[in-house]
Amino acid sequence: MNIKKTIDHFIDKMILNSTFDKPYWNIELIKKGKPNNWNHIDGCMTTSLLSLYEQTSNTKYLDFVDYFVDYYIFEDGTIRGFDPQKYSADDLAHSRVLFDLYKLTKKEKYLKAIHHTYSQLKSQPRTKEGNFWHKLVYHDQVWLDGLYMFQPFYTLYETQFNQKNNYLDIINQFKNVRKIMFDENKKLYYQGYDESKTLFWADKKTGLSKHFWLRAMGWYVAALSDVSVYIEDIKSKEYLASLLKEAIDGLLLYQDYESKMFYHVIDLADRPENYLETSGTLLIAYAILHASNNHILDESYEAIGVTIFEGTCKKQLTEVNGDLNLENICLSVGLGPESNTKRDGTFEYYISEPIVKNDAKGVGPLVMAYVEYLKISK
């Protein structure tokens, strides 16, 4: 497989088949048949495409992202389908793309939208330890994936617009997650924590969910990699780098020897229903390559990241009669809320969720890792 040629063609397929109201990569939206709005799925894709533009200088990527995002941003900076008082980590995550998009286009409404998004963080509900709730509807809960949804945006805003005043808050939220959600024996992080210890999926003593979900850990290590680069404080960088190394080293204990990928439920490779999952694996590849390229991880990790990326491409990028697809992406996993008792955090629940192809939760990380891969090949 010519990885560069294959991925370039695959990305073209994603763009050519997408409009702002019907993105080809948003499988959840397609399945629900609802109007599109501001969301982390599209955010993952547009952010990755903008990074690809910055690496390649190919204006088709910038033009597409500007076309896509422009539709959602009104002139006063309010955002179509985004309500800050929903206090949703997933919705806020899309606004991360606005920092680079404003820098590249100088559209004033993108700057206004950044400040509009930040208004959510100023009143986001928190746990007693100080961490943001994942969403208002997920009361008292910290989800590992929420670190990726919140903290890169938060760090960029503090660095560019708020004199870095809340750096300590950002670091403390990572510290709390390490203290509460890390399993010292398994060397892995649980997906969720319920401070109230009342949710049906939570352990009544610890408040933790039951298992280690791959994509949650993928989001987490990507957040560590991104924030460690964005944050302009040496001690903070060093602390986040230490968390990242620890998390990556823990994950590598469970790596599949042949494919170099990781399992959907990370530590249960021996369960026949379990499978090698694409999105979480590519997030790990991205985190390693991005951190290595930015000297956050030792250069010895570069080869590890490359083998994970190449192994995933060879196994999961398929071609039939010229049609390219990215396979084995978990569509969606969550915990609760009270009205959805199916999402109970058991192994049986995790493996019951649909497996799809070409969803941006896998394609976005593919492009993110690809950008870092291109930097190495240069």
Q: Tell me, what's the pLDDT at 161?
A: 98
Calpha distance 46→97 (Å, rounded): 7
Calpha distance 371→369 (Å, rounded): 5
Which residue(s) pair with 323 in the sheet?
320
Tokens of 239: 């602390």
Q: Tell me, what's the pLDDT at 361?
A: 98
Q: Provide the pLDDT confidence category of residue 8 given band limits of 50, 70 and 90.
A: very high
Share of the chain above pLDDT 90, in %: 98
Residue 149: is its pLDDT beyond 80? yes
Q: Tell me, what's the pLDDT at 263?
A: 98
Range of the domain at 252: 3-377
Q: For all residues of the chain together, what is the average pLDDT?
A: 97
pTM: 0.98
Residue 141: is its pLDDT beyond 80? yes
Residue 378: is its pLDDT beyond 80? no
Report helix, strand or coil for 61.
helix
Render pLDDT for 315-374 as a digit per residue (tens, 0 to 9).
999 999 999 999 999 999 999 999 999 999 999 999 999 999 999 999 999 999 999 999
Calpha distance 125→142 (Å, rounded): 11
Please, which contacts does 315-324 make with residues 24 or more away whose CB atoms are closer than 8 Å?
315/259, 315/261, 315/276, 316/261, 316/278, 317/1, 317/6, 317/7, 317/10, 319/6, 324/6, 324/9, 324/10, 324/13
Count of structural domains within the chain: 1
Q: Are strands 192-194 and 182-183 parallel, antiparallel or unpaired?
A: unpaired
Which residue(s) pair with 126 in the sheet?
132
What value does the mean pLDDT take over residues 109-128? 98
Q: Tell me, what's the pLDDT at 257?
A: 96
- Asked whether the beta carbons of 228 and 237 are under 8 A apart, the reply is yes
Calpha distance 319→326 (Å, rounded): 9
Residue 207: is its pLDDT beyond 80? yes
Calpha distance 189→180 (Å, rounded): 9
Render pLDDT for 262-275 as a digit per residue (tens, 0 to 9).
999 999 999 999 99
Render pLDDT for 17-60 as a digit per residue (tens, 0 to 9).
999 999 999 999 999 988 999 999 999 999 999 999 999 999 99
Q: Which residues contact 221 (CB under 8 A, 6 or more apart)?
A: 244, 247, 248, 251, 283, 284, 287, 288
Tokens of 187: 């060397």
Q: Provide the pLDDT confidence category of residue 245 given band limits of 50, 70 and 90.
A: very high
Residue 2: is its pLDDT beyond 80? yes
Q: Provide the pLDDT confidence category of residue 282 given band limits of 50, 70 and 90.
A: very high
Phi, psi of 307, rounded to the nearest 5 degrees: -65, -35
Which residue, among 320, 315, 317, 323, has the nearest Cα to 367 in the 3D structure? Answer: 317
Residue 246: is its pLDDT beyond 80? yes
Calpha distance 298→305 (Å, rounded): 12
Calpha distance 218→277 (Å, rounded): 11
Which residue(s) pair with 79 in the sheet?
73
Give me the CATH number covering residue 190. 1.50.10.10
In degrees, rounded to 5, the angle at the alpha carbon of residue 176 between the alpha carbons of residues 41 and 221 is 40
Q: Tell me, what's the pLDDT at 64?
A: 98
Please give the single-letter amino acid code of residue 41: I
Among left, alpha and beta (phi > 0; psi -120 to 50; other), residue 321 is: left
Please give the single-letter amino acid code of residue 127: T
Residue 153: is its pLDDT beyond 80? yes
DSSP assignment, residue 211?
S
Q: Tell me, what's the pLDDT at 34?
A: 86
